[in-house]
A = this chain, B = another copy of it.
């Protein structure tokens, strides 16, 4: 397969067929008026092709305002393909082409990029995640089971030594993984280098004492040269994970980080709501995560089941499983680890694991650990017990009867409603 295909959910005042033609034209050889230079040979070689069209409905009002209006607005799914020769395997130009001017076309009153299939050349030309799940476990001295994590809170405001004191509490509680908040990068009150120095001192002492190496995702997000300096600081102090806000630095920033990183890259998706929030404009997570994995993210945030944000559980399920699916039909699979977070407690571990069928995920809880009635240590133990129950196919309430920490968690945290359309 030497063509890139993209599927869009669109709505149009000029009909789905005509809108698909305009879209394909705008994003390849098309112009207002056909120019002399636009020969048949050129079109055959370089024009985008409409591969499939399905009409899904009609409405009397447009979903988004537009210059062009119609009596009705037809909705449908269109699949368009491009030759690999148009832009090769460049991720930025893939974005300009599949997610460029088309979002502004007056012939479209809604457009979401919902699926994308890439030729295997993308999988071979790009480095992908350097470590993935196994590499992450290796940095943690062969950790087994889901990685139980938490986030430093308050998000900002703690200074380096206050952060380190909280980290001490968390590692004493037996946590596997801790991350900076995405708001905490390199501010005057908590400079990156000082935070790394203070926090790694705690992590290294803990590893020396207990043999357990806790992974801490330090937020390296910044300009490229500063991110590279941050990596140097981290490496010098034995850091094993660099967190980056992918939308804030952009695709090329993520790739530049990957090019120099000797450690795992934890991909935070702050700002993702711009792409995901509206049913009428944006990009689906299964599409975007392919780009982020190709550019080198080892861990990818996927929100959590029954989260405190807005995505439905079906979207979370689709996001989490997409991260563990091969990036192309053939070539390196470039799998990443999904990171569940947002309002997570013992109740979500079993359904989160069921979606994947394995333990290769990071499960971040805040209140779900710190609000355990017997303290953070019992909170972490309860989550591991919930994971054990899930792995062995035992109902959490039944397992809790033999495991007091889990029982206390089950009694403390109310069971959330998870709404999944099972296939």
Going nearest first, the 3 A-B pairs with the smallest beta carbon separation are A250-B250, A103-B273, A46-B157
Is A185 close to B, CB under 8 A? Answer: yes
Given contacts A103-B274, A105-B310, contact A186 B87 (CB under 8 A): yes
The residue on B at minimum CB distance from A32 is B367
A270→B183 contact, CB < 8 A: no
A182→B100 contact, CB < 8 A: yes
CB-CB under 8 A from A221, the residues of chain B are 90, 92-93, 96
The residue on B at minimum CB distance from A247 is B95
Is A256 close to B, CB under 8 A? Answer: yes
Within the assembled complex, what's the spacing in Å between the Cα atoms of A276 and B64? 11
Known: A30-B155, A47-B157. 4 other contacts (CB 8 A): A29-B157, A45-B157, A87-B156, A92-B223
Given contacts A42-B158, A85-B189, A221-B92, contact A105 B309 (CB under 8 A): yes
Choose from B67, B87, B166, B279 the contact partner of A37 (Cβ within 8 Å).
B166
Is A222 close to B, CB under 8 A? Answer: yes
A90→B281 contact, CB < 8 A: no
Is A236 close to B, CB under 8 A? Answer: no
Is A283 close to B, CB under 8 A? Answer: yes
B189→A45 contact, CB < 8 A: yes
Is A280 close to B, CB under 8 A? Answer: yes
Encode contact with B along A171-197: 1 for CB under 8 Å, 0 otherwise. Answer: 000000000001101111100000000
The oligomer's copy count stands at 2
Within the assembled complex, what's the spacing in Å between the Cα atoms of A407 and B335? 62
Is A61 close to B, CB under 8 A? Answer: no
Given contacts A92-B221, A153-B31, contact A86 B38 (CB under 8 A): no
The residue on B at minimum CB distance from A162 is B37
Minimal beta-carbon separation of A128 from chain B (angstroms): 14
- Identify 22 residue pairs between A and B in the complex whose beta-carbon atoms are under 8 Å apart, listed by A's number: A29-B155, A31-B155, A32-B308, A32-B366, A37-B153, A43-B157, A66-B310, A85-B188, A88-B186, A88-B187, A93-B221, A95-B245, A96-B183, A96-B271, A100-B270, A101-B270, A106-B308, A223-B256, A224-B256, A225-B256, A250-B254, A278-B278
Within the assembled complex, what's the spacing in Å between the Cα atoms of A268 and B45? 25
Minimal beta-carbon separation of A224 from chain B (angstroms): 5
CB-CB under 8 A from A96, the residues of chain B are 182-183, 185, 221, 245, 248, 268, 270-271
A92→B245 contact, CB < 8 A: yes
CB-CB under 8 A from A250, the residues of chain B are 247-254
Is A370 close to B, CB under 8 A? Answer: yes
Given contacts A92-B223, A259-B225, A277-B64, contact A31 B366 (CB under 8 A): yes
B310→A104 contact, CB < 8 A: yes
A93→B185 contact, CB < 8 A: yes
Is A70 close to B, CB under 8 A? Answer: no
Is A311 close to B, CB under 8 A? Answer: yes
Is A414 close to B, CB under 8 A? Answer: no
B280→A278 contact, CB < 8 A: yes
The residue on B at minimum CB distance from A166 is B37
Is A58 close to B, CB under 8 A? Answer: no
Minimal beta-carbon separation of A149 from chain B (angstroms): 16
Encode contact with B along A302-329: 1 for CB under 8 Å, 0 otherwise. Answer: 0100001111000000000000000000
Is A139 close to B, CB under 8 A? Answer: no
Minimal beta-carbon separation of A36 from chain B (angstroms): 10
Is A91 close to B, CB under 8 A? Answer: yes
Is A53 close to B, CB under 8 A? Answer: no
CB-CB under 8 A from A276, the residues of chain B are 104
Minimal beta-carbon separation of A161 from chain B (angstroms): 12
Within the assembled complex, what's the spacing in Å between the Cα atoms of A227 and B309? 37
The residue on B at minimum CB distance from A92 is B248
Choose from B65, B90, B273 the contact partner of A104 (Cβ within 8 Å).
B273
CB-CB under 8 A from A155, the residues of chain B are 28-31
- Of A31, A221, A270, A371, most B-chain CB atoms within 10 Å: A270
CB-CB under 8 A from A280, the residues of chain B are 278
